[in-house]
Chains A and B, each alone.
Chain A
Amino acid sequence: MDGYSGKNRESIKIFIYRFLQRLFLEPDEEFINFLLQKSEALKEIGIELDDGIDLETLQTEYTRLFLGPAEHLPPYESVFLERRFWGTPTNDIQDFIRSMGLELKKDFNMPPDHVSIEFEILEKILSSKDPEINAQYMDFLKEHIVWIFDFLTRLIPKTDLKFYQTAFAFSKVFLKAEMSCGSLAVEERWR
């Protein structure tokens, strides 16, 4: 099996985006079970679980990192770039979702420039059967994913959980690889 090119590679990327999309949403029972079941395999790709990790630990850390109310890093492009909810990137993302013939589910009560949504968009671009949509991949990456890279850089030192440290690092490395495939510079642009 050639994991590095062709169709296979695309489907792996789809899986990774699904994983990333889930990683930045609130952890639930299913997610922790998946992590625990696959801890060995995850370790193989550099994602390590903390000893005795459970859902409560994971949820508490997630809240602390992303939801506050004490100092935290809201995972939204417009908060990151413009320090507000519903900034210009939010509308851009919304437009993009529509251009793919999709819409946000009504029960998603946050602005659509959440990092998980952006990962899901990438997943949808790759898994679409519409070549017109597939062709958007690099453009979207260029437009919207660059901020995530810097966001991750700021995020990693904030967490004490090995799981999040390594999973965020994994995300960073993966994105960097993707970007360099498309000859995009992933320097921390805003530093």
Chain B
Amino acid sequence: MNTSFTRRDFIKISALFSALGSSGKLFGEAFSPSGAKVYNVPGKERKVIPSACWQCVSRDAIICRIEDGRLVKIEGNPKSIRNRGKICSKGQAGINQVYDPDRILYPMKRMGKRGEGKWKKISWDEALEELTGRLAKLRNEGHPEKFMFHYGRMKGSDSKIVKNFLTAYGTKTIGNHTSICEGGKWTGQELTWGKHYDVWDFENTNLIVNFGSNFLEAHTSHIQAAQRATNALAKGVKMYTFDVRLSNTAAKSTEWLPIKPGTDMAVMLAMANVIMKKKMYDREFIDRWTNVSVSELKKHLKSYTPKWAEKISGIPAKKIEKIAVEFAQAKPAVLVTYRGAVAHYNGIQTERAKFMLEAICGYLNTKGGTNQAVGAKWKYPKVKGHPKKLKIIDGFPGTTAYPTHHVSHQVLKMIKDGSYGRPDIYMTYCYNPAYVNGECTENIAILKDESLIPYLVAVDAFMSETTALADLILPDVTYLERWSWDDMASFAMIPEFYLRQPVVEPLGEARQFQDVVCVIANRLGLDIGYDSTVDFIKKSCELSKVDFATLKKEGVWHDSAAKPRYHNHRKEIPPAKYEGDSILFDEKTGVYWNWKKAKVKSAEEARKAGYTNTKNAYKGYVGQRIGGKVYLGFKPDKLNKSGLIEISSDFLKKKNFSAIPAWMEIPEHKKLGRKQLILTTYKVNVQTHSRTANNMWLTELYHENPALINSKTAKKLGIKNGDLVKIISNVGEIVTPTKVVEGINPGVVAVSFHLGHWEYGEFASGKKASSGHVCVTDCKFVWWDTYGKNPNWIIPNKPDPIGGQQRWMDTVVKIEKV
């Protein structure tokens, strides 16, 4: 090839291309005439589109500023009664998601071996033909349950649309990921007060006692909770934080109490002991709203003295006593728990102990206390059916008593085991089991093995560690290109209806998966009653009597006449609602229930079995008789509990657990060797567990997660700040630098989540999809080159025995200097 054009070349080109004449069809034309020349005016107008964040599950209301088709800024929606115009740094960095050139924008089919990284771009038509062909085959063979759908993040209408499709198709082999979040907390609540999600009324409280929640940095209602707690602190409300690590929440507290891992329950029991002994309890609340008596409680709690708890938890008895007294005197106070308290072997009883403590003081469902969540109750088109399932979503039989939120971290192990069936098609949706569960090595091996998982489909906008192993990738849109209605719990205690709408057009061939399932349904000849996401949302708006146009314009809507819903349980049920043919009164529990709603065949059958022993009877729960009246009470969910706060649980007794929360020691922690430490994980304010390390702005702020150890521990082990260490558990080892700090309990080593990706793009792992850029702006200033370590390589996938919560905080490790 010449290095310059000569006259001769032009003549040749002339011969070549003029032969083509104006056969313009060969040359695709991207333009059409607009009719007028339009010149750029400086200071362009910015369009404002309200939508909803989804960098994390808090799903705050946002407004997006768009300049000529480009998203330039994300802010909080000031009209939202939940987040009240505020968002966090992750929310602002959403721009990095939608414009990340490492995104997947086209359907891709695997070419080489699984995980080899060889792909062929295919059209949506080809992709869907292949997928629906396989789906149709399974269904025709009578095995729709062999299609397993496993999601990581799916809420609001996104969830309803997909689940409708799965019902119509016939599978209930649906995996979620709650057991690696806080599923145990929910099971604990369902066993105790009913439907889950506790909202802490910080702005009206007089004291905050926090066990293991870092809600000023990360939480499922992060921005809602953090701003209200901050306002409380500013007013002078005290906050005590029990945590193994000095989190920023602990640092902002009146006092940080460095507790030993997994011993939160001991302190709670001792606090309850103090309150009972000092007669500081709320007898009326206990008698009326719980299923235990004061004397029963006193008897049960007698041996749990502060001195006893001191030995277990390391928290001085005097301190426990002082905080217990302050808690009882606060009237009201809130008691906060999260993963730090719950992701343990004893987590569910810990959660129940929290409720016991709050119930003793009468702080539940009250202004300034802990309240049952209030969220938008959307009505929406529903598909009915009788789907079948493989029994692989609730863990191995006998390991988990009440897996009400499933045991997602055992799914791959169960597929490997094979005794309970294996899916032929395993589809992940915004879910990354290879990375987010413990035991990464095993996860990868299973996902790679075609004899265990014959067909792996990943629906994802990014190349996650699991998506990289898929046979077929369907590119999803990011949340900023998405339509959904949403319903997150409202800390305003008034339900807020809100909308997520595209603020920019989807890039490339990315398609919202909810639209894709409508197409698949259509191809399979399934009638789901709507033909697109927008159609579903509009129909939901009509059914829910919410104006779609208002939502589009404002992003949020709530009934302006509504009052905060405190004391929900005190609502009286009128006789008309509990009298009638389909209603039965259950003597044993005092519950009125509708046997028809519980889908029992006859009243006779229902009466015979009784409320507690009838499958799904809770679905027919009407109210609780107390004295001469019937109240809404604490409505059950997932389990047939009464409308009372069941401090004493027959469900647990039946399975040989203590009916009233009693101390449970973590078996692995019983005899720790001199060199053994307990590994704990945590989250920081600028990253999520697995889906933000690709965001340049966030990764600039957080791209290293050295193992934190106490200076005393370091001295004992001969480790200096910055030394490389090997952390060894019984499932593997990782090598990571250390950071020697004072703000951690000696005996603990803490490694945060978020980092240590081996895929997920340039900033997450160094593994670029998009390359070649020269970077004259922003990315020119990338000064860091670390990716951190994922602690999951060394954390075993172990469920707690009651609910199946992944025991993130129980791992025993050894540390060696490298």
* CB-defined contacts of A158 to chain B, threshold 8 Å: 772
A138 to chain B, nearest CB (A): 17
Question: How many A-B Cβ pairs are below 8 Å?
Answer: 220
Q: Which of B13-21, B299-307, B666-674, B716-724 contacts A (4 or more CB under 8 A)?
A: B13-21
Report the separation of the CA atoms of residues A150 and B37 in the bound assembly, to the nearest whole angstrom.
31
Q: Which of B99-107, B200-208, B251-259, B676-684 contacts A (4 or more CB under 8 A)?
A: B99-107
* CB-defined contacts of A60 to chain B, threshold 8 Å: 120
B769: which of A63, A71, A174, A177 is its contact (CB, 8 Å)?
A: A71
A95 located at the interface, meaning its Cβ lies under 8 Å from any Cβ of chain B in the complex: yes
Instruction: List A residues 5-40 near B (Cβ within 8 Å).
Output: 8-9, 11-12, 15-16, 18-19, 21-22, 25, 30-31, 34, 38
On whether the beta carbons of A98 and B34 are closer than 8 Å, the reply is yes
The chain B residue with its CB closest to the CB of A97 is: B31
Report the separation of the CA atoms of residues A79 and B18 in the bound assembly, to the nearest whole angstrom.
34
A80 located at the interface, meaning its Cβ lies under 8 Å from any Cβ of chain B in the complex: yes
B726 to chain A, nearest CB (A): 31
Report the separation of the CA atoms of residues A59 and B361 in the bound assembly, to the nearest whole angstrom.
70
A84: which of B117, B504, B778 is its contact (CB, 8 Å)?
A: B778
Report the separation of the CA atoms of residues A100 and B32 in the bound assembly, to the nearest whole angstrom.
11
Report the separation of the CA atoms of residues A25 and B775 in the bound assembly, to the nearest whole angstrom.
24
* CB-defined contacts of A59 to chain B, threshold 8 Å: 121
Instruction: List B residues 1-54 near A (Cβ within 8 Å).
Output: 1-5, 7, 9-20, 25-40
Chain B interface residue number, banded:
35 or more
* Given known contacts A15-B18, A38-B16, A80 and B28 CB-to-CB distance under 8 angstroms: no
A170 located at the interface, meaning its Cβ lies under 8 Å from any Cβ of chain B in the complex: yes
On whether the beta carbons of B17 and A67 are closer than 8 Å, the reply is no
Chain A interface residue number, banded:
35 or more
B8 to chain A, nearest CB (A): 8
Instruction: List A residues 150-174 near B (Cβ within 8 Å).
Output: 150-151, 154-155, 158, 166, 169-170, 173-174
B69 located at the interface, meaning its Cβ lies under 8 Å from any Cβ of chain A in the complex: yes
A45: which of B16, B104, B769 is its contact (CB, 8 Å)?
A: B16
A173: which of B3, B33, B769 is its contact (CB, 8 Å)?
A: B3
* CB-defined contacts of B106 to chain A, threshold 8 Å: 63, 67-69
B809 located at the interface, meaning its Cβ lies under 8 Å from any Cβ of chain A in the complex: no
Q: Which of B125-133, B168-176, B482-490, B506-514 contacts A (4 or more CB under 8 A)?
A: B506-514
| Most B Cβ at <10 Å: residue of A34, A41, A85, A190 | A85
* CB-defined contacts of A3 to chain B, threshold 8 Å: 7, 10-11, 13-14
* CB-defined contacts of A12 to chain B, threshold 8 Å: 10, 13-14, 17-18
Instruction: List B residues 366-391 near A (Cβ within 8 Å).
Output: none
A46 located at the interface, meaning its Cβ lies under 8 Å from any Cβ of chain B in the complex: yes
On whether the beta carbons of B769 and A110 are closer than 8 Å, the reply is no
B235 located at the interface, meaning its Cβ lies under 8 Å from any Cβ of chain A in the complex: no
* CB-defined contacts of A141 to chain B, threshold 8 Å: none
B505 located at the interface, meaning its Cβ lies under 8 Å from any Cβ of chain A in the complex: yes
B335 to chain A, nearest CB (A): 44
Q: Mark A56-99, 1 if CB is under 8 A from B, else 0.
A: 00011001000111111110100111111111101100110111
The chain B residue with its CB closest to the CB of A9 is: B10
On whether the beta carbons of A98 and B12 are closer than 8 Å, the reply is no
Report the separation of the CA atoms of residues A83 and B462 in the bound assembly, to the nearest whole angstrom.
16
Known A-B contacts: A68-B119, A109-B509. Give 18 more (CB < 8 A): A15-B17, A25-B28, A34-B20, A38-B16, A44-B12, A63-B106, A69-B106, A72-B770, A84-B101, A90-B69, A97-B31, A101-B37, A102-B34, A103-B33, A104-B30, A109-B506, A111-B507, A174-B5
Selected A-B contacts with CB under 8 Å, 30 pairs: A1-B14, A4-B7, A11-B18, A12-B18, A15-B13, A18-B17, A22-B26, A30-B25, A41-B15, A45-B12, A45-B16, A69-B108, A71-B769, A72-B769, A74-B101, A79-B101, A81-B777, A83-B779, A85-B99, A86-B99, A88-B777, A98-B37, A98-B38, A99-B38, A102-B33, A103-B32, A105-B30, A105-B32, A109-B506, A124-B31
CB-CB nearest 8 A-B residue pairs: A15-B17, A3-B10, A190-B774, A83-B779, A177-B5, A73-B772, A95-B40, A3-B11
A interface, CB within 8 angstroms of B = 1, 3-4, 8-9, 11-12, 15-16, 18-19, 21-22, 25, 30-31, 34, 38, 41-42, 44-46, 59-60, 63, 67-74, 76, 79-88, 90-91, 94-95, 97-105, 108-111, 116-117, 120, 124, 147, 150-151, 154-155, 158, 166, 169-170, 173-174, 176-177, 180, 190-191
